Structure 1
Amino acid sequence: MSNKNTKMSLSKATNVAEEINNIDTTEKKTNDRISAKKKNVPNSKILNLIKEQQQARRDAELKADEEAKENQRLQEESERKQQEEFVLLEKKREKKREAKKKRIQRQKQEGLYLTKEQREKHHRAQIQFESIGIHVPPRTNAQQSDIQKRILYNDFQKTNLSSITTPSTEDEDSWDENSDEENICNEDSVQTKDILRAPVICVLGHVDAGKTTILDNLRRTHVQDNEAGGITQQMGATNVPLDTIVERTKMSRKLISRQGDFMIPGLLIIDTPGHAIFQNLRSRGSSLCDLAILVVDIMNGLQAQTIESIRLLIDRQTPFIIALNKIDLLYGWKSNKEKDVESVLEEQDSFTQNHFEKRYDEIIVQFAKQGLNVALYYKNPNPNEYYSMVPTSARSGDGMGSLIAMIIETSQTNLAKHISYTNELQATVMEVKAIHGLGTTIDVALINGCLSVGDKIIVGGQEGPIVTQIRRLLIPESNQELRDTNQYENKDKVMGTCVVKIAARDLEKSLAGLPLFIARNHDEIDYFKNEIELILTTVLNSFKLKDNGVYIQASTLGSLEAFLELKVMGTCVVKIAARDLEKSLAGLPLFIARTHDEIDYFKNEIELILTTVLNSFKLKDNGVYIQASTLGSLEAFLELLKIQKIPCSGVNIGPVHRKDVLRASTQLENDIKWATILAFDVKIERDAQDYAKTMGVKIFQNDEIYNLCSMFVAYQNQLIKENQDKYRHLAVFPCKLKILPQNIFNSRDPIICGVRIEDGFIKIGTPICVLSKDICIDLGRIASIEMNHKSLDIARKGSEVCIKIVSTTNDTAKMYGRHFDKDDILMSKISRESIDIVKAYFRDELQTSDWGLIIELKKIFNIV
């Protein structure tokens, strides 16, 4: 050990000696350089460079010191501001707590203070209002900030504005929780995030867009056959079980995340009416739904009720998926419902794909006009910014699996938090029915919570709240609509989400459209009775009533709203049996006469009213003849015809008689298409039918006004086509042609030459003439048109084509170079008769510029 230390000491000594020698050597060299410099003239450049380097080093040191001091100052300033903000925040919190305490004390003294239990009850009442489509106005009293309205579909993360967590924050939260006099835990509102209920799916869209047909495809039933005109008249609900979903989505399982797991027990689908007059029922349906299917007819795009449904969904913040329905109507469509619709589209012919792309692009533009971004579900760049569109065909089944898969995926991802099952009861009475063997029952949409046999329920009634006990719970068979099936399954207990039929006593006067409550004790019975009365009073008071008017009675809130929206004239629900009522008219007032003078007076009143009403309609000289069953339906029909731009020349109410046919026959002098009677929801007398055949008057009869209009439009198009075929040889279309002198193939009959179409267009059979030296020379008719050795039927302005002109007279054949030359303009030979025929039957084939050319040719040929 000592030897090792000795060696280390010697080594260190040696190193020190070497360093001393190096220093001595360096000093010696330095002294030699200095002595040498002293002998020579000093180098000023080197001295200046050394000074600059020293100055730069000093500047850098000063700058570093200044930056360090500035950073320290900024840090101290930041800490001081944070401390001031913290103190200010504490003062504000303390001030807020003091103000809140004083406000609560003042409210307690005035008797206006709401406890936590009362606030929770108010919150539940708000939810029930929302579930039946009633908007609750915000509170205007001092407790407005204490009551918060539930926000639907708020899945965005909220940013924490304050990152400072202090004991005072926790104290404030605990103070808010304990500030009420009563602290009651509401066990009914416990939410289970691990269990998802069946989402409520609402189907919306325009009339005849295929909404109910889509549901029929899901259920494989034919509910729509029972609807008047194929249009849903009430809200129907359908339970779709999980096994049906699994079977229908087998070809589109890749769209469902988590390896195609199904976390929901099924679907509850509500079919909404499509009529504009059922707007309130449609609004009520959408207030119950979690996710909507917006059905769009790919052939017609966005229509009136489609746009209304979009507005409704946006206003209620309801997410939706677009079903681009009726793709089977695309030209050349080849169906394959066993494959994903994306694959089916790829297998279509090119012209079918082009047709689809054209319709799809037009619909994208229509949605853009409504302020919405849409994209096909398999091309959606961002589902949070673009609504997904699924091409479907409810008739052939194409795309239905993809549509269901998109519903499942959206429900299990974006809506998972919203459709988490909760024990808090949320149920709405949808319909009241009398069932043989069960008595009066109510159909209930159970969204959350559970119902059991023996539960005491409170529902709204015509004479006030009804308290009764559940005797039986009945659910329809799977994939059956509640309002249509007669086969039910008894249950002791049902849990949301589903549709259930409840059998109980005293339901004869219950009202549909109101919530259903369960009471466990007398206090809750009294409370929920007050809730029902409050809801019903609020709804009835929301209607704008007049001092003078009729009294309206309806079975449900929805039908009452629709009744008031239509402004239908009527009385209370009274059925009158009497003689000679076969030809009575609906929509007119009823009078009671006690004397002969009153009989004569009221007869004159009825005649005056009927004459005044019929004369009030704005009729045209030329138009169809309208027959309807009531004044209300007549007004609605005329309004629809106005939208369809179909003129009306006469109207009447009641069955179609011989005199009505005689009035309609006067239009035969003008145009045969106007000699038509459109009979809406009325009978046609036998003698009127026979007389119509004799006179040549066409009668269309239907119970659905939309179909009636479609029938007339189809008849009108048929007449136009027949007239076009009849008069096509007399129709002369305008054209001006420039001769191409380098392309004269035959100068004598038949003249074959190349021309450039300067204006208008040419067709085979067009008579051609030329003005040469102010003389009109008839050359003949165009027998053929060719371009690039291909035959054409028509050629338009700007085209260069070869035409063959064949003479149609026995006169001397005209010759190019003798009777006309390259400087002359060839024109179509129009006449007064040809102009009238084109106006009457071929107006749609002419563009605006073509009509301008006709006016020019009229002046050339001096046509009056």
Structure 2
Amino acid sequence: MKIRQPIVVVLGHVDHGKTSVLDRIRKTTVSKREAGGITQHIGASEVPAEVIKRICGDALKKMKVELKIPGLLFIDTPGHEAFTNLRQRGGSMADMAVLIVDVAQGFQPQTLEAIGILKEYKTPFIVALNKIDLVDGWHNSKEVCFPKALVKQREDVKERLDEKLYQVVGKLHELGFEAERFDRVSDHSKQLAIVPLSAKTGEGIMELLMLLAGLSQKYLENRLKTEVKGKGKANILEVKEERGLGTTIDVILYDGTIRKNDLIVFATEKGGSHTKIRALLKPKPLDEMRDPRQKFDSVEEAHAACGVKIYAPGLDGALAGTAIRIVDESEVEGLKREMAKEVKSILVSRDYAGVIVKADTVGSVEALRRMLEKENIAVKKAGIGHVNKRDVNEAAAVKNEDAFLGVILAFNVRSLQDALEEAEVKKIPIMNSSVIYTLIEEYKSWRAEEERKEREEAYKKLVAPAKIKVLDDHCFRASKPCIVGVEVLGGRLKPHVRLLGESGESIGEVKEIQDEGKSLEEAGEGMKVAVSISEAVFEKDLGFGDKLLTDVPKEHVFEWREKYASMLSEIDKELLDEIMRRKRER
């Protein structure tokens, strides 16, 4: 068995420099030719071992690192798409990741999203603290080695960089990671390495490559072993229309070999499918799959790990984020059933109430579902494609069961016009975002606000359960109205509710609640307040030490228990039982 290139995914917030870091390695300028300087497509770049040796020079010898890997295969991606499209059962095909963080901006929503996904898929990563050239006072040292560049900086500049770096260390600690600057790490198996670098000047790029190569060799050797002559295993990064070819798929081959004329099985929304490879197109080393300087090389075969474009008839329904397998004729039907089963387990449709999820790829659907489930947010249906009228109708049906789940979460897809019109009529919220973290936070904020509104509505129209105790020596007026000092033992006491005496009889209505002369709209548990009670006469209807309950009508008790049960605390539930019991005993 041979050792293959580690597959490395570059993640980070928009404009933090994902493509620029790779450009510095590739010596190309892909990012400058893209709209807004932001990576728009998914691609892969092979960086051969010779290039790593050339960039890292003597540093490899000093660290006694002998390169055994044939190179590094970088996946360049906007957001997290490529990472989630490299999904496989129980984890990810990505061997390592580089999390790019802008030294000035620090952690942003997509940074948090990337960390959440890396944590969920248990993928080791290195933090690249980019744009150190923008630290106030930083001097471009012309050094590619970070320690040498740092020595040439003023003390105040070093302190500013350290301050920024330890803000990142602190944030990572909050998220459950121990981290340190790469040259201060004592144990790479327990601490995350942070590499300060500049994609613009090249400072620190050497250490990034050296760490990726060295750590993958040290900790991932067994994972990187590949059966060169074995049947190829790959994942689809992107399904593309190519002029003159039609539908093609860009795949990452992570094990074995793939050849022209091989029979492949792949997944579609309708189940498994199969076809025969007509052409294999492979990018040259240090070229970009999505934006090559020259045309792809047409090859007879490709070996793991590499990015390769496949042309074959019948690829129209292929799904990004799913596997392709090289098979013999006898294996086709069995593997098609297996793939159909796996897709069905991700693109779910369930009987119970939950949110409706729509996303652009299988990988995105799976990542979103996993993160929703971590937040205990039920998913009724998860599918690929734009939000349509049927999705809205399904959400409306859920709304009838649970108003807080009758929503649609749309990731990287748009809503069709008929869906928007139906959603407006049926008052179904459609939440859109290109960041999973933001989408989930938006839903949680919306739900919290809806629950607050429902609480307000409930407390306006229903008598809330409450229990009060008349304080000793606190009768300020015996009648018309009776005014006494009380302590709220549980629940929420509001004006204009009737009270039950200890005998179970209604003794009068709370006219006003005061605290130190100020009128209150309500009094909560533990508060000591003065209350005026119309109709009640002290010593006839109530006395010192008496425990009074709010007189909750029977129909209100039913509504609390049936419609607003989630709003009731355990004490509230006990109070409702006690109120009904006291009424029965009367």
The answer on 1:434 being equivalent to 2:252 is no
State the distance in 2 between where 1:565 and 1:461 align.
Answer: 12
Which of the two has greater helix per residue?
A: 1
Q: Is contact 2:3-2:225 (8 Å) kept? A: yes
CA distances 1:206-240 after superposition (whole Å, capped 9, x unpaired): 33222222122222233334655544455422222
Where does residue 400 of structure 1 map in the other structure? 205
Where does residue 413 of structure 1 map in the other structure? 218
Where does residue 288 of structure 2 map in the other structure? 481
The answer on 1:452 being equivalent to 2:259 is yes
Indicate which of 505, 518, 539 corresponds to 2:313. Answer: 505
Q: Is contact 2:234-2:325 (8 Å) kept? A: yes
State the distance in 1 between where 2:340 and 2:439 align.
Answer: 39
When the two chains are superposed, the root-mean-square deviation of aligned CA atoms in Å is 4.1
The change in CA–CA distance for 1:587 and 1:492 in structure 2 (over 3 A counts) is closer
State the distance in 2 between where 1:208 and 1:309 align.
Answer: 14
The answer on 1:287 being equivalent to 2:105 is no
What is the letter of the counterpart of residue 415 of structure 1? L
Give 1:675-686 correspondences, 5 Å limit.
none
Where does residue 534 of structure 1 map in the other structure? 341
Where does residue 300 of structure 2 map in the other structure? 492
Where does residue 250 of structure 2 map in the other structure? 443
State the distance in 1 between where 2:251 and 2:82 align.
Answer: 21
The change in CA–CA distance for 1:206 and 1:235 in structure 2 (over 3 A counts) is same
CA distances 1:472-510 after superposition (whole Å, capped 9, x unpaired): 211012222222236101111111000111122222232
Give 1:707-856 correspondences, 5 Å limit.
none
State TM-score, norm by structure 2: 0.60
Q: Is contact 2:231-2:258 (8 Å) kept? A: no
Offset of residue 589 of structure 1: 5.0
The answer on 1:269 being equivalent to 2:77 is no
Where does residue 223 of structure 1 map in the other structure? 30
Range that drifts further, 325-334 or 209-218: 209-218
Where does residue 318 of structure 1 map in the other structure? 123
Offset of residue 425 of structure 1: 3.5
Give 1:334-733 correspondences, 5 Å limit.
334-422=139-227, 423=230, 425-485=232-292, 487-520=295-328, 522-541=329-348, 556-558=361-363, 569-570=387-388, 590=418, 609=424
The change in CA–CA distance for 1:414 and 1:257 in structure 2 (over 3 A counts) is farther
Offset of residue 419 of structure 1: 0.9
The change in CA–CA distance for 1:363 and 1:551 in structure 2 (over 3 A counts) is closer
Q: Is contact 1:459-1:467 (8 Å) kept? A: yes
The change in CA–CA distance for 1:265 and 1:608 in structure 2 (over 3 A counts) is closer
What is the letter of the counterpart of residue 8 of structure 2? I
Where does residue 56 of structure 1 map in the other structure? none
The change in CA–CA distance for 1:370 and 1:491 in structure 2 (over 3 A counts) is same
The change in CA–CA distance for 1:255 and 1:535 in structure 2 (over 3 A counts) is farther
State TM-score, norm by structure 1: 0.42
Q: Is contact 1:256-1:408 (8 Å) kept? A: no
Offset of residue 454 of structure 1: 1.9
State the distance in 2 between where 1:540 and 1:355 align.
Answer: 48
Offset of residue 349 of structure 1: 1.5
Indicate which of 10, 17, 20 corresponds to 1:210. Answer: 17
Offset of residue 450 of structure 1: 0.4
| SS of structure 1 residue aligned to 2:97 | strand
What is the letter of the counterpart of residue 455 of structure 1? D
Structure 2: tracts of 5 or more residues without a match: 369-380, 392-413, 444-586
State the distance in 2 between where 1:202 and 1:631 align.
Answer: 28
What is the letter of the counterpart of residue 517 of structure 1? R
State the distance in 1 between where 2:82 and 2:307 align.
Answer: 22
- Larger RCO of the pair (alpha carbons < 8 Å, separation 6+): 2
CA distances 1:590-644 after superposition (whole Å, capped 9, x unpaired): 49xxxxxxxxxxxxx979959x98xx99xxxxxxxxxxxx9968xx9x999999x
What is the letter of the counterpart of residue 212 of structure 1? T
| SS of structure 2 residue aligned to 1:389 | strand
Which of the two has greater strand per residue?
A: 2
What is the letter of the counterpart of residue 305 of structure 1? Q
| Corresponding residue pairs, total | 402
Where does residue 528 of structure 2 map in the other structure? none
Where does residue 239 of structure 1 map in the other structure? 46
What is the letter of the counterpart of residue 436 of structure 1? R
What is the letter of the counterpart of residue 308 of structure 2? V
Q: Is contact 2:85-2:235 (8 Å) kept? A: no
Where does residue 712 of structure 1 map in the other structure? none
What is the letter of the counterpart of residue 359 of structure 1? K
Q: Is contact 2:145-2:204 (8 Å) kept? A: yes
State the distance in 2 between where 1:459 and 1:207 align.
Answer: 32
Where does residue 3 of structure 2 map in the other structure? 196
The change in CA–CA distance for 1:293 and 1:559 in structure 2 (over 3 A counts) is closer
| SS of structure 2 residue aligned to 1:257 | coil
Q: Is contact 1:550-1:571 (8 Å) kept? A: no
Offset of residue 549 of structure 1: 11
What is the letter of the counterpart of residue 54 of structure 2? E
State the distance in 1 between where 2:63 and 2:116 align.
Answer: 29
CA distances 1:322-352 after superposition (whole Å, capped 9, x unpaired): 1111101111212234441111101111221
The change in CA–CA distance for 1:560 and 1:231 in structure 2 (over 3 A counts) is farther
| SS of structure 2 residue aligned to 1:334 | coil
State the distance in 1 between where 2:264 and 2:271 align.
Answer: 14
What is the letter of the counterpart of residue 419 of structure 1? L
State the distance in 1 between where 2:423 and 2:173 align.
Answer: 51
State the distance in 2 between where 1:555 and 1:305 align.
Answer: 17
Offset of residue 392 of structure 1: 0.7
Give 1:27-38 correspondences, 5 Å limit.
none
Q: Is contact 2:431-2:439 (8 Å) kept? A: no
CA distances 1:340-390 after superposition (whole Å, capped 9, x unpaired): 111110111122112112212322222222232212222222222222111
Q: Is contact 1:427-1:516 (8 Å) kept? A: yes
Offset of residue 311 of structure 1: 3.3
Give 1:297-316 correspondences, 5 Å limit.
297-316=102-121
State the distance in 2 between where 1:249 and 1:336 align.
Answer: 17
Offset of residue 462 of structure 1: 4.5
Indicate which of 61, 64, 75 corresponds to 1:257. Answer: 64
The change in CA–CA distance for 1:606 and 1:297 in structure 2 (over 3 A counts) is closer
State the distance in 2 between where 1:641 and 1:311 align.
Answer: 13
CA distances 1:635-677 after superposition (whole Å, capped 9, x unpaired): x9x999999xxxxxxxxxxxxxxxxxxxxxxxxxxxxxxxxxx
State the distance in 1 between where 2:10 and 2:23 align.
Answer: 12
Q: Is contact 1:551-1:571 (8 Å) kept? A: no
State the distance in 2 between where 1:540 and 1:274 align.
Answer: 22
The change in CA–CA distance for 1:445 and 1:539 in structure 2 (over 3 A counts) is same
State the distance in 2 between where 1:445 and 1:346 align.
Answer: 41
Structure 1: tracts of 5 or more residues without a match: 1-191, 574-585, 592-604, 618-629, 644-864
Q: Is contact 1:454-1:470 (8 Å) kept? A: yes
Identity %: 32
Q: Is contact 1:251-1:338 (8 Å) kept? A: no
State the distance in 2 between where 1:236 and 1:489 align.
Answer: 16
